[in-house]
C-alpha cells in the first residue's frame, strides 16, 4: 500500500494548534503546495485573521474549494485519550482536534487538485481556494471579507464546495445545499411592580405576556418548501421575578430565536412578531439580532456533479439537506449561485477525541477530484 498524501497532509495540519482565530502557519503549508501547481496566492489579513485566496486560471467557470484552518478549543486536555494536536491513529481512526472539522477536507481538496492538474494541466475554467481562520469564532474577518473583496473587483465565481463535515453515518450519505437563517430577539414586557396581595395596584407582566407567548408558540410561520422544514420559533429563556414570592415583578424578559427557511424573510418575521405583540396591547421593548441569512442552492450542475462523484466512488446515494447550524456558506452564497457543503461524517466534531475514519480519507479526496473532472475536464 502506498502512503496516502492526503493522510500525511491532514496530520501535518492537525499538528498545528490553530485554535480560532489562529492559523498557526496552516495556510503557508497550503501555499507551498498550491504555488507550484500554478495557483496565484493572495493572503488577505483582516484584524487578527489570516485568509487565503488562491486561483489557478483566468477563465470561467470558477470552481472554489472553501474551508477553514481554525479549530474550536480542545476542552479539558486530560480527557483526551491522546493529545489533541498530536495526530494519532488508533483502531482505524485518526484522532486530533480538526480531524473532522475540517483539516481532512482541506488536505483532500489540495491533493485532489494535485492529481487533477497532473492529469489535465489544460483544464477548462479556473480552480480556486478560499481559506479562512475565522469560521469557528465571530466570523467577521474571514470569508465575508474575502467575498466582499471579490465582489468589489468583479471577480465572479460559479461553483463553491465548502468542506464542512456533512456526512452522517457514512461518507457521502449527506450534502448540504443550504442552511437555515438565524434571527434572535430579546423581548422585555413592561409591567408595574407591586405587592402580590394588592394586584389592583400593580401590572403583572407575566400574566400580560402569557396569551401573546401562547400565540407565538402556536403560530405557523410558513410551511417550509421543497428543501426546507417549516420555520421554527423557540424560546430559549424566560425570566421575571424579584426573588421574593410576595412581589409582582416590574418586567419580564424573553429570549427567542427563529431558524428560518427561505419561505420566510427576516423582515417579514419581525413584522409578524410585532403585530402579535401589538394586538395584545403589550408595552414592550424588542431588540433583534440577525446572525445569518438562509441560503439555498436548488438541484443543478454542482449538486449533480458532486452526487455523481460520490456514487462513482462509494456507491452511496446522497441526500440533499438544509439542516444544521449556520456556516460560511451563507457569505459565499451572496456572490456564488451554487454553493454545496460536503465533507466527512460529523458525529465527533467539537467533541473530546474528535476523529475521522482513515478509510474515508482517500475516498474523500477522490470524490473532490471526480467532481473537478465532472465540471472542468
Q: Using an 8 Å Cβ cutoff, are 61 and 372 in contact?
A: no
Question: Of 5-13, 158-166, 175-183, 226-234, which part binds Zn ion (CB under 5 A)?
Answer: 158-166
* Alpha carbons within 13 A on the beta-carbon side of 47: 18
Mark whether 70 is an active-site residue: yes
Strand partners, 184: 257, 289
C-alpha cell at 69: 484552518
Question: Of 71-79, 102-110, 144-152, 365-373, which part binds Zn ion (CB under 5 A)?
Answer: 102-110
> Among residues 102 and 364, whose Cβ is nearest to Zn ion?
102
| CA-CA-CA-CA torsion sign (351, 355, 360, 363) | positive
Q: In whole angstroms, what is the distance from residue 90 CA to residue 358 CA?
A: 10
Q: In whole angstroms, what is the distance from residue 123 CA to residue 306 CA?
A: 18
> Among residues 6 and 104, whose Cβ is nearest to Zn ion?
104
Question: Of 99-107, 149-157, 169-177, 222-230, which part binds Zn ion (CB under 5 A)?
Answer: 99-107
> Among residues 72 and 290, whose Cβ is nearest to Zn ion?
72
Q: Which residue has the cell 465532472?
A: 374
- Based on its alpha-carbon atoms, the radius of gyration of the chain, rounded to whole angstroms, reads 24
Q: Rounded to 5, what percent of the chain is helix, strand, coil?
A: 35, 25, 40
By beta carbon distance, the residue nearest Zn ion is: 101
- Among residues 11, 22, 114, 135, the one annotated as catalytic is 135
Q: In whole angstroms, what is the distance from residue 252 CA to residue 257 CA?
A: 17
Contact pattern from residue 244 through residue 263 relative to Zn ion, giving x for each residue in contact according to CB under 5 A and a dash for the rest: --------------------
Q: Annotated binding residue at 68?
A: yes
**Shortest distance in whole angstroms from residue 365 CB to Zn ion:** 18
Residues 159-178 that bind Zn ion (CB under 5 A): 164
Q: Annotated binding residue at 78?
A: no
User: Is residue 356 near Zn ion by the rule CB under 5 A?
Assistant: no
> Among residues 102 and 128, whose Cβ is nearest to Zn ion?
102
Q: Annotated binding residue at 122?
A: no
- Among residues 70, 313, 341, 354, the one annotated as catalytic is 70
Q: Using an 8 Å Cβ cutoff, are 248 and 204 in contact?
A: yes
Contact pattern from residue 203 through residue 232 relative to Zn ion, giving x for each residue in contact according to CB under 5 A and a dash for the rest: ------------------------------
Question: Of 86-94, 97-105, 153-161, 297-305, which part binds Zn ion (CB under 5 A)?
Answer: 97-105
Q: Annotated binding residue at 207?
A: no
User: Is residue 101 near Zn ion by the rule CB under 5 A?
Assistant: yes
Q: Using an 8 Å Cβ cutoff, are 180 and 261 in contact?
A: yes
E strand or H helix that includes residue 248: strand 247-248
> Among residues 178 and 191, whose Cβ is nearest to Zn ion?
178
Q: Annotated binding residue at 353?
A: no
**Shortest distance in whole angstroms from residue 251 CB to Zn ion:** 39
> Among residues 57 and 165, whose Cβ is nearest to Zn ion?
165
Per residue, the 3-state secondary structure of 112-147, as one string, reads HHHHHHHHCCCCCCEEEEEEECCCCCCCCCCHHHHH
Q: In whole angstroms, what is the distance from residue 365 CA to residue 106 CA?
A: 9
C-alpha cell at 298: 436548488
**Do β-strands 174-176 and 247-248 pair in parallel, antiparallel, or remain unpaired?**
unpaired
| CA-CA-CA-CA torsion sign (86, 91, 97, 102) | positive
Mark whether 135 is an active-site residue: yes
Work out which of 30, 31, 99, 102 binds Zn ion, going by CB under 5 A. Answer: 102
The footprint of Zn ion on this chain (CB under 5 A) covers a number of residues equal to 3
Which segments are annotated as binding site for Zn(2+)? 68, 101, 136, 164, 350
The residues that are catalytic are 70, 135
What is the contact surface with Zn ion in residues (CB under 5 A)?
A: 101-102, 164
**Annotated binding-site ranges:** 68, 101, 136, 164, 350
Amino acid at each position: 500500500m502506498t502512503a496516502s498524501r492526503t493522510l500525511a497532509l491532514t496530520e501535518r495540519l492537525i499538528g498545528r494548534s490553530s485554535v480560532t482565530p489562529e492559523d498557526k502557519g496552516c495556510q503557508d503549508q497550503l501555499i507551498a503546495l498550491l504555488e507550484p501547481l500554478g495557483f496565484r496566492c493572495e493572503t488577505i489579513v483582516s484584524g487578527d485573521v489570516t485568509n487565503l485566496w488562491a486561483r489557478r486560471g483566468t477563465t470561467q467557470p470558477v470552481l472554489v474549494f472553501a474551508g477553514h484552518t481554525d479549530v474550536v478549543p480542545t476542552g479539558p486536555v486530560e480527557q483526551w485519550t491522546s493529545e489533541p494536536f498530536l495526530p494519532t491513529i488508533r483502531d482505524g481512526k485518526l484522532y486530533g482536534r480538526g480531524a473532522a472539522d475540517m483539516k481532512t477536507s482541506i488536505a483532500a481538496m489540495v491533493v485532489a487538485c494535485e492529481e487533477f492538474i497532473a492529469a489535465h494541466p489544460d483544464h477548462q475554467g479556473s480552480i480556486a481556494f478560499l481559506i479562512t481562520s475565522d469560521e469557528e469564532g465571530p466570523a467577521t474577518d474571514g470569508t465575508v471579507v474575502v467575498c466582499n473583496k471579490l465582489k468589489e473587483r468583479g471577480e465572479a465565481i460559479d461553483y463553491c464546495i465548502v468542506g464542512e463535515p456533512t456526512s452522517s453515518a457514512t461518507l457521502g450519505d449527506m450534502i448540504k445545499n443550504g442552511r437555515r437563517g438565524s434571527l434572535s430577539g430579546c423581548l422585555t414586557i413592561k409591567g408595574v411592580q407591586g405587592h402580590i396581595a394588592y394586584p389592583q395596584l400593580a401590572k403583572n407582566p407575566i400574566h400580560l405576556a402569557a396569551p401573546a407567548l401562547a400565540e407565538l408558540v402556536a403560530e405557523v410561520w410558513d410551511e417550509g418548501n421543497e428543501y426546507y422544514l417549516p420555520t421554527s420559533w423557540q424560546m430559549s429563556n424566560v425570566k421575571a421575578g424579584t426573588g421574593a414570592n410576595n412581589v409582582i415583578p416590574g418586567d419580564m424578559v424573553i429570549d427567542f430565536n427563529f431558524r428560518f427557511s427561505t419561505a420566510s424573510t427576516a423582515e417579514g418575521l419581525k413584522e409578524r412578531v410585532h403585530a402579535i405583540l401589538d394586538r395584545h396591547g403589550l408595552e414592550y421593548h424588542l431588540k433583534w439580532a440577525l446572525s445569518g441569512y438562509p441560503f439555498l442552492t436548488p438541484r443543478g450542475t454542482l449538486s449533480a456533479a458532486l452526487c455523481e462523484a460520490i456514487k462513482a466512488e462509494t456507491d452511496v446515494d446522497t441526500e440533499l439537506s438544509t439542516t444544521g447550524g449556520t456556516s460560511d456558506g451563507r457569505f459565499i452564497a451572496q456572490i456564488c449561485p451554487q454553493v454545496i457543503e460536503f465533507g466527512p461524517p460529523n458525529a465527533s466534531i467539537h467533541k473530546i477525541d474528535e476523529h475521522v475514519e482513515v478509510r474515508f480519507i482517500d475516498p474523500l479526496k477522490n470524490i473532490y477530484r471526480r467532481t473537478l473532472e465532472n465540471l472542468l475536464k
